[in-house]
Structure 1
Amino acid sequence: MGFFIYINQKPLFMKHFKNIIVGCLVTFTVFSCKTKEVVIQAQEVDDIVSYLASDELEGRNTGTEGIEKAAVYIENYFKEIGVQPYYDTYRDSFTVKGKNAFNVIGYLEGTDPVLKNEFVIIGAHYDHIGFGEEVDGDTIANGANDNAAGVGTVMTMAKYFAKTKSNKRSILFTLFSAEEMGLQGSKYLAETLKKENIDLYVMLNFEMVGVPLVDKDYTAYVTGFDKSNLAQKMNEYAGKKIAGFLPKAGEYRLFMRSDNYPFFNEFNVPCQTFSTFDFTNFNHYHKVGDEADIMDFNHMADFVNTFIPAVKKAVNAPTKEIKLTTSK
């Protein structure tokens, strides 16, 4: 997790059990303008997170065989759903502390002849720390909530837009490596894209969304809440309050501690993170207990399906309606 915080956390008061009907949820469709919409199901995010957080991948540390397997999995998913690579391949390669690393980037060109020249980045980091302090013989820090859950969100959003072809602006679906080493993957890509002079409208980052918030009147909080009108616009687009303010996010300066921050630094446009980690609902940060079986996949599917309509309206807004209120 990029927030880079080490705190004494409160116990996890609620365990989130997989619903036995996760695998047999009824598929339903919504018809709008005679277009069949894609609805993301709990089993889909379960499949993604459970693989990425499996012992086979050994905690997905940058430069390891485990993160290589994760990258191949993401690449194959993009190929299957029809999301193209942005560069010659899906991999954006760089070196960090003597290790070979790579972001994985999928690309959907916008459908509007003018707006397609503007970009929206939807991102999450797919690396984790590898191994942690042993508990009952287990040393693998699987990183389910941190941040396989964010990756599952980005991948299923990519599926939605690939199937519906409903993005007027171009979208980069970016999965970052070396986040746990100091946001190195996002820093490298932000600098590269800035040199390439892309017209970045907004960057939406997803971090630790595998369990729901507790006693909040919104779905996720936004880091750097006051830096832009992103939360207000997302709530307007969704027709309900899906993005809110968490005081502790400001206290711990979380805006500067995830992969949104390098893009904000380079482009000086709205680049912010959505999260449901509220410092009380999850006590396995960078620990071996961050396993897929404590994720709430019904919550995750609802999270994705709640955010997609708002993201879609942001991607298709006729003008750049999301704006900074304070610059760097």
Structure 2
Amino acid sequence: MSFLADDELHGRGSATRDEHIAALFAASQFQALGLEPGGDNGTFLQKVTLPNPLPEDAKQHLSKLEDTPRKETWNAIAILRGSSAPKETVLLTAHLDHLGIGPSVNGDNIYNGADDDASGTTAVLALAHILATGRRPRRTIVFALFGSEEIGGFGNRAFLAHPPVPLASIVANLEFEMIGRPDPAVPAGALWLTGFNRTNLGPELVKHGAHLVNDPHMGQHFFRRSDNYALALQGIIAQTVSSFGLHKDYHQPSDDLRSIDFTHMNDAISSMVAPINWLVNTTWKPQWNFGRKPWHQAIPN
């Protein structure tokens, strides 16, 4: 967390050298754990060439940020192959990037993205450490850290186009997004799950110890605002774990390490270990609830 959100990484701007450094850091963690590479050519990195020119919405988003070439982005991907059901996959994800260098606020122009989403990246790396050093799970686990979420999800698009395992094998995806601070809108110690009522995954994880509740911010449409959504549109059960309480540091230079509640974050990650251990070792498969698939747009979240 200290490395990812340090000023030296200049806010890990989407498709910058600093995002690349963050991806290399994650790759080194995966390699040290003895995980199987899931990237290009037997490596832990998946390089993505961005469209030229970028879409107008991406260009508009970048117009207020550092003027630097944005030609490539990177995913960091690792695989822990399952023992008895290797063709069933649980996907654990977060995004590597943030905004980078932007307009100065109170003398600070580095948008560190400690909560958004160094916290989620740290959660995935921590879970990789725990799961890789324990008993080999029944199902395969893919750990994927996506680049360029902030400018349009180009990392997850590349993952979907060139997946390290067949997309049809993915039983469930849990995205970790902004878990660095507690949300006062939910009980102490709780996390919320986007699209809680869309599938039976959340309730089942709760039965196995997860401190998960329904997203209290339905009007924000968070189910559609993270990398999980592109996977959900493919029919994959894909939901985001978060505790973002709409704090004022969102997309500001003040989203730095000083704003992180490490006790909450540690408890948040720890609370997901047993439920995920159950998910990667059970034969149970989550399903969409009737009429709740993401293409049913009448349902906002």
TM-score (norm 1): 0.79
2:277 aligns with 312
Contact 2:24 2:76 in 1 (8 A): no
2:129 aligns with 159
Q: CA deviation at 1:141?
A: 0.2
More displaced stretch, 148-157 vs 252-261: 252-261
Q: Distance in 1 between matches of 2:134 and 2:103?
A: 44
Whether 2:260 is the aligned partner of 1:298: answer no
Contact 2:14 2:148 in 1 (8 A): yes
Contact 1:123 1:204 in 2 (8 A): yes
Which AA in structure 2 matches 1:245?
N
What's the CA shift string for 1:150-197, capped at 9, x where partnerless? 000000000001100342110110000010011221122123339945
Q: Distance in 1 between matches of 2:185 and 2:236?
A: 31
Contact 1:211 1:276 in 2 (8 A): yes
Which structure's relative contact order is higher, taking Cα pairs within 8 Å and 6+ residues apart? 1
Contact 1:166 1:312 in 2 (8 A): no
Q: Distance in 2 between matches of 1:215 and 1:178?
A: 29
Q: Distance in 1 between matches of 2:136 and 2:165?
A: 28
2:201 aligns with 230
1:13 aligns with none
2:230 aligns with 262
Q: CA deviation at 1:84?
A: 2.1
2:287 aligns with 323
Identity of aligned residues (%): 31
Q: Which runs of 5+ in 2 are unaligned?
A: 53-70, 296-301
Contact 2:185 2:245 in 1 (8 A): no
1:288 aligns with 253
SS across alignment from 1:116: strand
1:228–1:130 distance in 2 versus 1, CA, 3 Å: same
**Counterparts of residues 204-215 of structure 1 (less than 5 Å):** 204-214=174-184
Whether 2:52 is the aligned partner of 1:82: answer no
**Higher helix fraction (1 or 2):** 1
Which AA in structure 2 matches 1:236?
K
Whether 2:238 is the aligned partner of 1:271: answer yes
Q: Which runs of 5+ in 1 are unaligned?
A: 1-48
Q: Distance in 1 between matches of 2:167 and 2:253?
A: 41
SS across alignment from 1:92: strand
Q: Distance in 2 between matches of 1:264 and 1:194?
A: 17
CA RMSD of superposed structures (Å):
1.7
- Equivalences, count: 271
Q: Distance in 2 between matches of 1:302 and 1:252?
A: 25
1:156–1:211 distance in 2 versus 1, CA, 3 Å: same
